[in-house]
A and B are shown apart, each in its own frame.
Chain A
Amino acid sequence: MRLADTLRFARDAATGYPMRTTLSILAMSIGVAAVVILTALGDGARRYVVGQFSSLGTNLVIVLPGRSGTGGFNPANAITSTPRDLTVDDAASLKRLPGARRVAPLAVGTSEINYGGKLREVMVAGSTAEFIPIRNFELAQGKALPEEDWNRGSSVAIIGAKIRDELFASEAALGQLIRLGDRRLRIIGVLKSTGQGLGMNTDELVIVPVSLAQSMFNSNTLFRIMIEANTRDAIPATKEQVLELLKQRHRGEEDVTVITQDAVLATFDKLLGALTLGVAGIAAISLAVAGILVMNVMLVAVTQRTGEIGLLKALGATARTIRFAFLAEAAMLSAVGALVGYLLGQLGAFALRQFFPVFPAYPPDWAVIAGLSTALATGLLFGVMPARRAAQLDPVQALMKR
């Protein structure tokens, strides 16, 4: 039998029994749609988290006081057991490193802000002029912290959008004097509203010069030092340089931890990638179930069409021809099911994106390809058994049945 004839014969056979054809296509399409939608969700979550981390700033190297890693015995450890403070001078020294484009120290605390009788608790970040570009913040009004000696803090502040709205409402905020803790500060800038993000909520943040924050909180140590490396490739080298320099400044003691945004990002990427894979695996089970259903449907078809198979044999069809005809029918059912499922899945992912615009629910290519090919493979695999059964029917017995 010619290929085109085999395909036409299989198509006619499938459309000749619309109910069972529709049901098996439906089962297959639900399986494929499940793979597409679930992986879209998983991969969407991954993209969302990675995107959030990237918004912290690009090519970041972050220094934390204290050591989290375990090192060998160092004579210096025996003498001083408390870690040295991470100071503003440490941060300033990092500016000389060749791999560092920008450096910003960060001291953090909470305080009360007070204007015109209105009072609220706020998060205070003490830093320098380059803090805003490093963290990819943007100013809605005014200007950044002044470029000045890091140890001499002017009495100025930049406030978040929400604080501006609450304290000043429709009044102009720029140039106003506010009270922060026991200091009187002049507002020189307002941050653009960014909404909720990882790390700190910038809408409720007040940024002041680092030395001012340190004296407010009566502390010498910094919360973090943020370094922006020149390029992505320079991150590991910059990390080494930072560690080396700080070790020197701390008399050979490695009492800081340096993390890179890359490492954090890679971890999350891996974690959520595994999650997507797991979800895809669960969805694949439904594909296997659909495959078994196709097999069941084909077995019923063989029983239903026993007389026809006997006739085909009497008319000179070889076992091979009959096997191909039934296999083609099974393949057709799963192919159409897979295609319908793919479209349903894309539609579902589209609907998800419409309802949750921040969530990039796009199914990854590998999942779509794997889903479609698993559907076809299971359909064919489970089609083999019924096709063989049809080919092996005894024509005399088959013809007697009607």
Chain B
Amino acid sequence: MALIELSGIERSFLLGDTTVHALAGLNLQIAAGEYVAVMGPSGSGKSTLLNLLGLLDRPNAGTYKLEGRDVTTLSPEEQATVRSTRIGFVFQSFHLVPRLSAAENIALPMTLAGIPSAERDKRVSQALKDFGLENRADHKPDQLSGGQRQRVAIARATIMQPALILADEPTGNLDRHTGEEVINLLEALNARGVTLIVVTHDQSMGARARRQLVMEDGQLKSDSRTTT
């Protein structure tokens, strides 16, 4: 059974008087544990696809099955629960809450899910150790370097042990060296069985994934697998 099953997905936006088809008749299957890079020019529908997969957006038509369950018909509350427990997000601009410390940012998904603080502290200290952030726990985001910020964001995305991690240009704001570090981290997570979907402009980074999806005008232009 595929982790993700998209069939006949349509998503259109109304821009002024014209309707823009961001996604048109998209069919896609992604199995659990895959490492997928989504590429394509701006406006090709990559981000819309990612938002849809992350349940931040709803398709106008078509069905989206996550782990065999049709999630497009769920209520907003149920979708929030799915996001909380099954999906982790990593953003280009990190999206850390500026007034919270690194540890508090990592704990945020658990706080929102209502997990008791003793359990939270245990998991956060483990995550800080895993991501090499032990002596940055009480730092605010503006006291951290870009690479550290993205590591905090990745720690936050994985703290609920999701099945799926969606990364939108995770290295877009980082220099090559730190970008490399971050990608290594994500790949290490994938090696442990987490499904990883990365949206990127970077050809070399896309080439590292085992499967490349190229989007154009809301449709899948190519779907190739690298055999390693």
A interface with B by C-beta (< 8 Å): 1-2, 5, 9, 12-13, 15-16, 307-308, 310-321, 395-396, 399, 402
Contact = CB atoms under 8 A, between A and B. Distances in A.
A402 B93 contact: yes
Contact of A311 (B51, B54, B95): B95
Interface in B110-130: 111-114, 116-117
Given A316-B85, A395-B56, A1 B97 contact: no
Contacts of A2: 111, 114, 116
Interface string B44-55: 000000010010
Interface stretch (B75-83, B174-182, B207-215): B75-83
Interface residues of B, number: 29
Nearest to B89: A314
B80 A399 contact: no
B108 interface: yes
Contact of A319 (B76, B85, B89, B93): B76
B92 to A, nearest CB: 10
A320 B160 CA distance: 20
Given A314-B56, A316-B85, A319-B76, A13 B99 contact: yes
B112 A312 contact: yes
Contact of B112 (A16, A317, A319): A317
B149 interface: no
B91 to A, nearest CB: 7
A316 B83 contact: yes
B205 interface: no
A317 B80 contact: yes
A316 B81 contact: yes
Contact of A313 (B80, B91, B93, B108): B80
Nearest to A321: B112
B56 A396 contact: yes
A314 B112 contact: no
13 contacts: A9-B111, A308-B97, A313-B80, A314-B56, A314-B89, A316-B84, A317-B112, A318-B76, A318-B77, A319-B76, A320-B77, A396-B56, A399-B56
A14 B156 CA distance: 23
Interface in B28-85: 51, 54, 56-57, 76-77, 80-81, 83-85
A5 B111 contact: yes
A1 B114 contact: yes
A313 B84 CA distance: 9
B83 A314 contact: yes
A399 B57 contact: no
B189 interface: no
A399 B100 CA distance: 18
Contacts of A395: 56-57
B184 to A, nearest CB: 24
B170 interface: no
B206 interface: no
Contact of A315 (B98, B108, B114, B117): B108
Contacts of B85: 316
Contacts of B93: 402
Interface residues of chain A: helix, strand, loop or mixed (majority)? helix
Contacts of A12: 99-100
Nearest to A318: B80
B186 to A, nearest CB: 17
A307 B80 contact: no
Interface in B139-178: 156, 160
Nearest to B112: A317
Nearest to B116: A2
A196 B83 CA distance: 78
B80 A316 contact: yes
Contacts of A320: 77
A389 to B, nearest CB: 16
B109 interface: yes
B109 A316 contact: yes
A331 B99 CA distance: 20
Contacts of A307: 95
A399 B76 contact: no
A392 to B, nearest CB: 10
Contacts of A16: 98-99
A241 B113 CA distance: 79
Max count, chain A CB within 10 A of own CB: residue among B84, B91, B111, B112: B112
A318 B56 CA distance: 12
B99 A315 contact: no
Nearest to A398: B56
Contacts of B114: 1-2, 5
Contacts of A319: 76-77, 80
Contact of B95 (A1, A13, A399): A399
A2 B56 CA distance: 24
A16 B84 CA distance: 25
Contacts of B81: 316, 318
A35 to B, nearest CB: 33
A396 B80 contact: no
A3 B171 CA distance: 36
A321 B76 CA distance: 12
Contacts of B116: 2
B56 A1 contact: no
Given A316-B113, A318-B76, A319-B76, A396 B57 contact: yes
Contacts of A321: 112
